[in-house]
Amino acid sequence: MNQPIRRLSMVVAVMFVLLLVASTWIQVLGAQGIREASDNRRTQLDSYARERGQILLGGQPIARSTEVEDDLEWQRVYSDPELYSHVTGYFSFTYGSGAGLESASDGLLSGRDDQLFYDRLTDTIAGREPRGASLELTIDPDAQQAAEQALGEQRGAVVALDPSTGDILAMVSHPNFDPSPLASHDVPTERAAWERYTEDETQPMVNRAIGGNLYPPGSTFKIVTAAAALESGDYSAGSSIPGPATLDLPQTTSDLPNASGAACGANDQVTLAVAMQDSCNTAFGWLGMELGGDAVAEQAEAFGFGEELSVPMTVAPSTFPTGLNPPQEAQSAIGQYDVRTTPMQMAMVTAAVANDGVVMRPNMIEQVMAADTSVIDEPEPDALRRAISSDTASELTDMMQLVTTDGTGTAGAVDGVSVAAKTGTAQHAEGAAPHAWYTAFAPADNPQVAVAVVVESGGTAGSEASGGSSAGPISKAVMEAVLQ
């Protein structure tokens, strides 16, 4: 063989090897990514050619697919679309599956998940078009409706959990949106809805309960600081600590004042329990500096700060700053400075106190069912970790009950039920009305529900808002719905 022919043969051989490598990579390693690409119209067409699974509450669908007489064959239909918009998300031919369970559980709903392999095989042998799995949810419709109505037109979010299992009983985020026009097969209708939602400065498609820009938790974070103090072994609910009208912040020319402008107790001293009851800033600021930033950060981490979670939607990790100097420690101990959290995280903190100190993994899926209604998966309650001892949980429960009987959280009290709570009024921008927070659980001696509420920028009360007056009644309404 002469040299030119030999070189040509080598080039052909190399190209052949490259072709084999590329085709192997696409079929073996890249296939999943290509299938899941949001702009893959072949996958979208395939999804519409089969019946997508339902999303159910108590056996009733809040999202289902109906057969239609157009090229796409199936169309997604939502019941109470705005009430459950951040739970279901949307399923759109143009914009794909987005937000909520439509995105987080797309593999199951579409029937492509590996758990459905044998169902797909059975359907193929039987000559049926493979169908998606259905999801039965843990959401309590009464609690969801109560949260929706109580939050009203205000921006914010509500999360309710079963403390002993982590089941999500309610998840509401305002403003919400209607996923129905996004599921329309009329392209102009889809586009108009998409533009309306994405260009709205209030960002209605952001689920504020688990994501978004996160919020400073304000004084609801004092539960974490109090837990760190009790866990240190150096303090109890009856410990006397400084609670002056203002706390001098070292290394600065600033002071940390109490909201009332007065001292929290006689001779500028207050017990830890009363400091919690009256949400005393100076006492908790002092405590933050005494404990140190690392100790409070450790306690926050034990409750779940910094942790990535899926419920199955992704929950943005809450954050507690590191490398703090003393004034920053004081501010962080009262949930200000750079502390940022989700309502889900604060509900988890409160639920852990209610659950004897154990943090449960939040979960929204009660059952996954195949198209023939057989149960494929039934998630069991999953304990993430023990955040605090039983003794600390018991002491915190007693302190938090004082908040609703004699303190800042009386507006969240439920008649005939012992409620353990904490209020928060979080400053977040110069001149802006504060975010109003309330987190609680009940009954205190047999917890069945833990709630976290945030009302953005004071809601309808504006600069007059406080955690107790603005968010407390919302928590109360949700608890009453669960406990009725």
Catalytic residues: 219
Strands 420-426 and 449-455: unpaired
Task: Tell how strand 358-360 and strand 269-271 pair up.
Answer: unpaired
97 close to 91: Cβ distance less than 8 angstroms: yes
Phi, psi of 382 (to 5 degrees): -130, 115
The owner of tokens 């012992």 is 418
Contact 148, 139 (CB under 8 A): no
Amino acid at 38: S
Q: Are 216 and 426 in contact (CB under 8 A)?
A: yes
How far is 459 from 433, CA to CA, in rounded Å? 8
Is beta strand 269-271 parallel, antiparallel or unpaired with respect to 240-242? antiparallel
Q: For residues 397 and 420, is the Cβ–Cβ distance under 8 A?
A: yes
For residues 362 and 125, the answer to whether their CB atoms sit within 8 Å is no
Residue 226 to residue 245: CA distance in whole angstroms: 20
Residues 6+ apart with CB under 8 A from 121: none
Written as six digits, the tokens of 104 are 């987080």
Provide CB contacts within 8 A for 431, sequence distance 6+: none
Maximum CA extent, the chain: 104
